[in-house]
């Protein structure tokens, strides 16, 4: 299965990844805040992920890593 | 598992000081990717100006120098003339390049200096708290134009990419933006082209990036991108305004 890893402490809750993700089910805002007080995004359901890398491309913090299962 | 995307290695682990959704982070990341992909880490020299863009000096494992407000093209001129084999990048915001340092960028273009200017245009003074800049749109509300920018007091926004393209010393001038993943890839192609022209020893290469400033515009980041697509792009049309390399082919 493909994998999306979000660096929780770098996330600033801009929601670009949530907005541009073509599947909309993979990422979700967490219920707890990180050290800086943001509700960081986390990867919840990887079944639909096609590893397109759009979430990582639009992330201004470089907080997202995308790996494709080959 | 093969890696589709990860943070560029030329980046440090420093926490980025930009506000959430700031376009600077995306542009820094793209420049970092280009430096890494083309092995320019030993050759690249950044010249930082004053403004939000100066924060990036802590994020790259690359040589850099900080210039006075608006004087980054003057410092870049010195660096490029002393070490012409290096990739010299002057990374400036709109308050710095258009307002404070207008004469430096104009004379660098007139002299045909052979470095690259990445000009980040967010239509506002971001760092100092959202004041009106020369690039602010007509009717745009800022802290120093609370009733909207009016023509009779402040004139019209400045389209730098077109102005620089009109100067003979400029070799390449393009305007790009970061509002969609596709446009981010186009921006990467534009900056790569500018860097390659510089490494071939051509004239001044200028890339203007229209970027969101959600904090300065008083909008949520996604709303700021929508406003950028609707309003800012109509004032600052995207496209290539000069590409002598293409004409030579």
Each residue of B55-101: pLDDT tens digit? 999 999 999 999 999 999 999 999 999 999 999 999 999 999 999 99
Residues A11-45 pLDDT 10s: 999 999 999 999 999 999 999 999 999 999 999 98
Identify the structural domains of chain A with CATH numbers, from first to last.
3-67 (3.30.70.20)
d(CA B239, CA B150): 27
Average pLDDT, chain B: 93
Taking an 8 Å cut-off on Cβ atoms, the answer to whether B181 and A66 are in contact is: no
Contact present, B66 and B54 (Cβ < 8 Å)? yes
- Average pLDDT (B178-198) is 95
The reply to whether B249 touches chain A by the CB within 8 Å rule is no
The pLDDT value given to residue B248: 79
Distances (CA, A) of A63 to A10, A60, B2: 6, 8, 18
Minimum-distance CB partner of A67 among B2, B32, B220:
B2
Q: Give the pLDDT band (50/70/90) at residue A1.
A: confident
The reply to whether A64 touches chain B by the CB within 8 Å rule is yes
Contact present, B84 and B201 (Cβ < 8 Å)? yes
Checking if the pLDDT of B181 tops 90, the result is: yes
| CA-CA-CA-CA dihedral for B122, B124, B128, B131, to nearest 10 | -170
The pLDDT value given to residue A63: 93
Checking if the pLDDT of B195 tops 90, the result is: yes
The reply to whether A33 touches chain B by the CB within 8 Å rule is no
Residues B146-173 pLDDT 10s: 999 999 989 999 999 999 999 999 999 9
Checking if the pLDDT of B249 tops 80, the result is: no
User: How many interface pairs between A and B have CB atoms less than 8 angstroms apart?
Assistant: 85
Taking an 8 Å cut-off on Cβ atoms, the answer to whether A56 and B5 are in contact is: yes
Residues B3-60 pLDDT 10s: 899 899 999 988 999 999 999 999 999 999 999 999 999 999 999 999 999 999 999 9
d(CA A17, CA A37): 19
Average pLDDT, chain A: 92
Alpha-carbon gap: B198 to the closest alpha carbon of chain A (Å):
25
The reply to whether B126 touches chain A by the CB within 8 Å rule is no
Identify the structural domains of chain B with CATH numbers, from first to last.
23-248 (3.40.50.970)
Q: Give the pLDDT band (50/70/90) at residue B245.
A: confident
Taking an 8 Å cut-off on Cβ atoms, the answer to whether B222 and A19 are in contact is: yes
Interface test with B, best of A6, A8, A10, A14 (most B CBs within 10 A): A14
The pLDDT value given to residue A16: 94
Checking if the pLDDT of B247 tops 90, the result is: no
Taking an 8 Å cut-off on Cβ atoms, the answer to whether A53 and B184 are in contact is: no
Checking if the pLDDT of B136 tops 90, the result is: yes
Checking if the pLDDT of B246 tops 90, the result is: no
Taking an 8 Å cut-off on Cβ atoms, the answer to whether B2 and A68 are in contact is: yes
- Average pLDDT (B194-202) is 94
- Rounded to 5°, the CA angle B17-B161-B80 comes to 70
The reply to whether A22 touches chain B by the CB within 8 Å rule is no
Scanning B28-47 for CB atoms below 8 A from A yields 29, 32
% of chain A residues with pLDDT over 70 = 100
Distances (CA, A) of A29 to A32, A55, A62, B34: 9, 14, 17, 31
- Average pLDDT (B96-118) is 94
The reply to whether A37 touches chain B by the CB within 8 Å rule is no
């Amino acid at each position: 299965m493909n994998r999306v890893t979000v660096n929780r402490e770098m996330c600033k809750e801009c929601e670009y990844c949530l907005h541009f993700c073509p599947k909309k089910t993979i990422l979700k805002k967490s219920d707890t805040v990180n050290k800086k007080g943001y509700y960081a995004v986390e990867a919840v359901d990887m079944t639909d992920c096609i590893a397109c890398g759009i979430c990582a491309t639009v992330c201004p913090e470089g907080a997202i890593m995308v790996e494709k299962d080959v | 598992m093969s890696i589709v995307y990860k943070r560029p290695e030329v980046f440090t682990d420093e926490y980025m000081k930009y506000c959430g959704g700031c376009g600077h982070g995306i542009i820094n990341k793209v420049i970092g990717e280009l430096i890494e992909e083309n092995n320019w880490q030993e050759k690249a020299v950044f010249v930082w100006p004053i403004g939000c863009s100066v924060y990036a000096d802590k994020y790259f494992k690359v040589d850099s120098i900080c210039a006075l407000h608006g004087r980054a093209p003057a410092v870049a001129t010195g660096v490029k003339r002393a070490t012409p084999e290096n990739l010299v990048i002057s990374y400036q915001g709109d308050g710095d390049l258009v307002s404070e340092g207008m004469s430096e960028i104009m004379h660098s273009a007139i002299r045909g200096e052979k470095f690259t200017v990445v000009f980040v245009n967010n239509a506002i003074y971001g760092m100092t708290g959202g004041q009106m800049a020369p690039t602010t749109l007509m009717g745009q509300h800022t802290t120093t134009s609370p009733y909207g920018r009016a023509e009779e007091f402040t004139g019209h926004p400045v389209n730098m990419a077109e102005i620089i393209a009109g100067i003979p010393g400029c070799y390449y001038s393009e305007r790009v933006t970061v509002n969609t993943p596709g446009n981010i890839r186009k921006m990467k192609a534009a900056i790569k082209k500018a860097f390659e022209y510089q490494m071939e020893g051509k004239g001044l290469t200028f890339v203007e990036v229209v970027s969101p400033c959600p904090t300065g515009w008083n909008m949520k980041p996604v709303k700021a991108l929508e406003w950028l697509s609707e309003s800012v792009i109509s004032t600052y049309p995207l496209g290539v305004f000069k590409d002598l390399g293409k004409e030579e082919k």
